[in-house]
Amino acid sequence: MKSIADYVALEPEFYQSILDHYQSLFADQIDLNIEKSLQSIVIFATGSSANAAYGARPLMSKILKIPVYIEDPSMAANYLHYNDANTLYFAISQGGESYSTIHLVEQFIKKNRTIYTLTSNSNSPIYNISNHVLSMGMPVEEMPYVSAGYSVIILDLMLIALIIGQKTGCLDKQQFESYLKQIQDITTSLPQVILQSQSWVNHHLRQFNHAKRVIFIGYGATYGVAREGETKFTETVRNTAFGKELEEYMHGPYLGLHPDDYIIFIEPKGLLEERAVALKTFLNRYVKQVITLYAQHSNSITEHDLNFDIHCDELLTSLFMTIPIHLLSYQLSQLKGHNLEKSTYPEFDEITKSKIKRVTV
């Protein structure tokens, strides 16, 4: 079985393949008859899929000039109501076996409502029940703790927004091509991003091995990265981690800080950078380990920080800024002796039925 690191190494290949085939993957599959009246997008997802959606959401909303909502499938299926003809609905399930997402898609289909399902598994239950399936553009990720799949979903959603934006006139040809070029440049830079990330991880691995709690802080597109940091550290390293939006952390959670916390800022060099600098100024008075991952050059970089020096729209930074977090969580898990190929609690799915191998409609 490939490891998390193996799949991170495959991300440049996956990205390029999707860029080469995005028209057939998405443009030819999505019915845009509602483009004149499109008023919102709702994405149903959990776990890393939801984190990825948060990473793509700001760019999608900026391009399409409409609100983009991310909803929990279980909450939506059991307690909420969706029946807006002017809303485009997406459900994401990478492996296609998530009970809550399958249940939600079943409800949409039974009520003759259109929902597009994004998955990588053409043999999965969600693929078999869906009337409108979009391929993620990559093979099924064998490793249960996904990395490449998370990143690919961000790219997929961004490209879907670009396609819709071009169709609806929200983007002119020059804007469309500018975004595509920036994404292509990021894809070309990914091998170097992986090398930089690996070097940073190697330098800090032993240090993080002593961390009792890690807090990831992001804003804009990197809020999704912060959420993914919480998810992956909890799943693989199996110690306490939190992923917070910048202002969210400043309105309450900071009061629970500990001097031995490890706080990682994911800095896209965007609109809220000054707010992040102010928070770091405060935290440095009380916390020993405050580290920043920078998308672009910064004059305040320290020996503990990581700077990718990639110049792009801040809303595209989620395409590459999770790589050091995925590699760090994986290598820490190995240092702690965790076998990620073997379930820690093998009876969990049997008892909870959170994954479905087969489904009957």
Q: Which domains does the chain have, with CATH numbers?
A: 4-186 (3.40.50.10490), 190-335 (3.40.50.10490)
Query: In the prediction, which pLDDT does 356 show?
Result: 65
**Token pair of 312, please?**
């792009």
DSSP state of 22: H
> CA torsion angle for 225, 231, 236, 238 (degrees, to 10)?
130
Edge to edge, the sheet with strand 240-245 lists 240-245, 213-218, 262-267, 289-294, 306-307
- Is 114 in a helix, a strand, or coil? coil
Of 198, 181, 128, 147, nearest in space to 356 by CA: 128
Provide block-wise average pLDDT over 10 residues at a time, the chain (361 residues): 96 98 92 75 97 98 97 95 92 92 94 94 92 95 93 98 93 97 98 98 95 97 98 95 97 94 97 97 96 89 93 97 98 95 73 62 41
Contact predicate 198/36, CB 8 Å = no
Listing DSSP states for 184-248 in one string gives HHHHHHHHHHHHHHHHHHHHHHHHHTT-SEEEEEE-TTHHHHHHHHHHHIIIII-SEEEEEEHHH
Burial class for 308, CB neighbours closer than 10 Å (0-12, 13-18, 19+): buried
Q: According to DSSP H, which parts of the chain are helical?
A: 4-22, 47-64, 73-79, 99-110, 125-129, 148-168, 173-208, 222-232, 246-250, 273-283, 323-335, 348-352
**pLDDT given for residue 361 in this prediction:** 41
Residue that is written with structure tokens 């004149």 in the block: 36
pLDDT, residue 357, reads 64
> Distance between CA 287 and CA 284 in Å, rounded?
5
Contacts of 224 (CB under 8 A, 6+ apart): 51, 52, 53, 54, 55, 56, 57, 154, 218, 318
- Cα–Cα dist 174/204, whole Å: 42
Phi and psi dihedrals of 265, rounded to 5? -90, 135
* CA distances for 320 relative to 56, 59, 89, 316, angstroms: 12, 15, 26, 8
The whole-angstrom separation of Cα 266 and Cα 325 is: 10
